[in-house]
Amino acid sequence: MLADLDQGDHLLLERQDESQEGNWYIQVLFRDNNTYQLEYRDGVPAEHYQTQTVSQEKVLQALLDWATDKPTWREGFMWTSIGHWFTPAPEDEGDPTV
């Protein structure tokens, strides 16, 4: 599936566990510049991270390891927290227009 992505296509894997609230997923976007943008969320919007790589092999291994819950799947990447993109700033809380 990963090898069949065209530029602009994405792949999403989601973990559902009724005993835990929140969203757990990993997704990859094959960007127009032939890089892979890999993101994951650990339950809540504030725990959302992103990285980029040119290595399809590293992305595939991360996806497989995430799906099988191997604790080392994040290794080999420099992750950037982007959770602030998905959570309101404290001064915006309670503002219905945000």
Domain assignment present for 58: yes
| Model confidence pLDDT, tens digit, residues 22-69 | 899 999 999 999 999 999 999 999 999 999 999 999 999 999 999 999
Domain assignment present for 52: yes
pLDDT at 10 over 80: yes
Q: Residue 19 and residue 61: Cα distance in Å, rounded?
A: 27
Domain assignment present for 93: no
- Nearest one of 26, 27, 34 to 53, comparing CA atoms: 34
Q: Which CB contacts under 8 angstroms, 24+ apart, belong to 76-80?
A: 77/38, 77/51, 77/53, 78/51, 79/49, 79/50, 79/51, 80/49, 80/50, 80/51
| Count of domains observed in the chain | 1
Which residue range forms the structural domain that includes residue 41?
2-86
**Which residue has better confidence, 48 or 94?**
48
pLDDT at 93 over 80: no
Q: Residue 37 and residue 39: Cα distance in Å, rounded?
A: 7
Q: Say what the pTM is.
A: 0.83
Domain assignment present for 94: no
Domain assignment present for 82: yes
